[in-house]
Amino acid sequence: MSHSRPLASASLLALLSCAPVLAAEIDARPPDRLTLSANGSELTDTNDRGGGGSLSWLHYVSADVLFGIGAEHQFVEESKWTFGSLRGAFSRGQPASRFTLFGEVHYGDGDDDGRDFDYGVAVLGLSQSFTPKFSVQLETRQIEIDTSHGNLPKLGLTYLLTPHLAANVSYADSVGGNLGTQLASARIDYYGQHVNLLMGGAWGDADPNVINLQPGLNLPAQKLREGFAGIGATFSRGQVQLLGDYLKLADSEKVTITLSFTAFVGSRGHAQ
C-alpha cells in the first residue's frame, strides 16, 4: 500500500521466501515481475479527492537475490508528489533458518499548492526464520518528507498458521526527529492456489507524512486507526489484486481503492 508505507514492506520478503522452493521445482530463477497499479482516494471530511499510480520492475538476479526499480506519482487536492524507487534483497538458508537482508530507497519531491518540498524514505531491514513456521523481522526506516524527519524502527513477528495462512504482528516507534509516531499493526494473509486474501489494521499515533495522508500538511502526530482488506487472483502469466483501505487520523478520514496488475516476464517458468 503506497498510502501506508509501514505496512507495505513485506513484499520483497514474501517473494524471496518462496524463491528456493520455486527454484527447486523448475530448476531456474523465477520470472521478472512488472507491476502497474492505480488508486483513487477521498478524504471524507472535506470531500477532497486524490489518486495516483506506480510502475515497478522486480528482477531475480538469482533465486536468492532480488533487485527492483520503480516510479510513483500521487496527489490529494492541491498536494502532489512523485518519487523513484530502488529495492534489493538477499536471502540465504533453508526455510527453517532462512535469513533475508533487504533495503529500499524512495526519493523525489512534491508540491503543496505552489510550495515545493522534498520526499525521501530509506529502509534497511532483516528477517530471520527460527522454524519453518516462525520468523522475526527488524527494520529501520529513515523518513525525510517536507519538515517531517526521523527514524522509525519496527519489530515484526510472522507465524505460519497453516500451509496457506500466515499471521503477522508488528510495532514501530520513532526515535529522533519530530515524527512522534508509535504504530501497532496486525495482518493475516491467505495464500490459495489461484486466489489470495488479506486483511488487517493499524492503530496508534502517526505523523501524517509517515502514512502519506497528504504530504505538505505539516501537522503533528495524531491518533490513527486503519483497516484494510484485499483480494488477489493468480494466473499462469500474472496476478491481479484489489485492495481497499480505510484510514482515520484525528478527524480526517481517507478511503483508498487500489488496483494492481503484475505480469510475469521472461521464459524461466512462472511463480505460484
Which of the two residues, 61 and 215, has the higher pLDDT score? 61
Would you say residue 145 has pLDDT above 80?
yes
Topology of domain 5-265, CATH: Porin (2.40.160)
- Tens digits of residue pLDDT in 74-91: 998 888 999 999 999 999
Q: Counting Cβ atoms within 10 Å, is residue 60 exposed (0-12), middle (13-18) or buried (19+)?
A: buried
Instruction: Tell me the C-alpha distance between 123 and 110, whole Å.
Output: 20
Instruction: Tell me the C-alpha distance between 221 and 187, whole Å.
Output: 23
Give the chain's mean pLDDT: 87
- Break the chain into its structural domains and give their ranges: 5-265
- Tens digits of residue pLDDT in 14-52: 555 554 443 344 435 789 999 999 999 998 877 789 999
Within a 10 A sphere around the Cβ of 44, how many other Cβ atoms? 13
Within a 10 A sphere around the Cβ of 227, how many other Cβ atoms? 14
Within a 10 A sphere around the Cβ of 170, how many other Cβ atoms? 21
Instruction: Tell me the C-alpha distance between 30 and 239, whole Å.
Output: 14
Share of the chain above pLDDT 70, in %: 86
